[in-house]
Amino acid sequence: MNILDKITLDKRKEVDLRKSLIPVTQLEQSVLFERQTASLANKLRHSKSGIIAEHKRRSPSKSIINNNLNVQDVAKGYENAGVCGMSVLTDGKYFGGSLDDLLIARASCNLPLLRKEFIIDEYQILEAKAYGADVILLIAAILTRQEIKQFSELAKSLKLDVLLEVHNEEELHKSIMPSLDMLGVNNRNLKTFDVSLETSKTLSTLIPDDFVKVSESGISNIEAIKELQPYGYQGFLIGENFMKTNNPGESATAFIKALNA
């Protein structure tokens, strides 16, 4: 069983528990449920840098990245840096995140917020909306085509953007549908954790231009972005690079300045 299978198995138990504690009606009564969402896809289309900066405390591949920062400072720092959006990991067991992180980020900035989560149930999409997200992530490796369709259409009905993540050609072919806004190519092989930008380059020609192309993982310098821009990528998800510093906002500011210089 690879790490993704393990996470997904644990996630099913976690979601069942959460559903038993907080009914859907309660989520729908959240103040944020009526909030006007912001489109990350639109921001990426009109941005020179295309940076989506992440809040991530730890990961299965890197263990602890940074446990000392508070979400509020990170969100404000990213917004001041001029990033296009912020990705907030809400998985607790493997990434040290929580839905409270999303709530705090929402209260601290006006950036489009991506709920970075292993979504396997419609309930999590309603949660994303109730906790202030603007975008959800769907991971093709853990979903069937029918689930991708069902989940993305629900997200669109809630005015949430959808970023669908793929790792290879097979996942890409099963996933392409009109209810997606962005197609993200994860350069990390989830079975071996090896990272290669070649994955983004190879898959770029297979992604129709209707979708905003996003490259994820292994983007730690501006050279990587300059290398990928000619392949049509408009979004770049950067997590560890900023989070491993004492001030992610400052490091994102310096990065974007250098990129646009």
pLDDT given at position 190: 72
**CA quadruple 146, 39, 88, 211: dihedral positive or negative?**
positive
- In the set 14, 165, 171, 240, the catalytic residue is 165
- In the set 186, 187, 200, 251, the catalytic residue is 186
Strand partners for 235: 214
Decide if 66 is catalytic.
no
Whether the per-residue pLDDT at 61 is higher than 80: the answer is no
- In the set 117, 171, 216, 240, the catalytic residue is 216
Residues of the chain with pLDDT > 70, as a percent, come to 100
> Which 3 state secondary structure label does DSSP give 104?
helix
Decide if 54 is catalytic.
yes
Decide if 216 is catalytic.
yes
pLDDT given at position 3: 86
Contacts of 198 by beta carbon, 8 Å cutoff, 6+ apart: none
- In the set 187, 217, 241, 251, the catalytic residue is 217
Distance CA 42, CA 47 (A): 9
pLDDT given at position 60: 84
pLDDT given at position 240: 87
Decide if 156 is catalytic.
no
Whether the per-residue pLDDT at 223 is higher than 90: the answer is yes
Whether the per-residue pLDDT at 46 is higher than 80: the answer is yes
- In the set 11, 43, 116, 129, the catalytic residue is 116
Amino acid letter, 32: L
Which pLDDT tens digit goes with each residue over 133-165?
999 999 999 999 999 999 999 999 999 999 999
Distance CA 182, CA 84 (A): 14
Average pLDDT, the chain: 95
Strand partners for 236: 51, 215
Which single residue is written with the structure tokens 């990350």? 40
How large is the average pLDDT for residues 229-234? 98
Decide if 14 is catalytic.
no
Question: Confidence band (pLDDT; 50, 70, 90) for 244?
Answer: very high
pLDDT given at position 192: 73
Distance CA 165, CA 68 (A): 29
The structure tokens listed for 225 are 């972005």
Strand partners for 163: 137, 182
Whether the per-residue pLDDT at 174 is higher than 80: the answer is yes
Whether the per-residue pLDDT at 63 is higher than 90: the answer is no
Decide if 165 is catalytic.
yes
Alpha helix locations (H) across 50-205? 71-81, 99-108, 122-130, 145-157, 169-175, 198-204
The structure tokens listed for 127 are 């949660």
Q: What angle do the packed helices 122-130 and 145-157 form, to 10 degrees?
A: 30
- In the set 54, 127, 171, 240, the catalytic residue is 54
Whether the per-residue pLDDT at 62 is higher than 80: the answer is no
How large is the average pLDDT for residues 9-33? 97
Which pLDDT tens digit goes with each residue over 177-219?
999 999 999 998 876 778 999 999 999 999 999 999 999 998 9
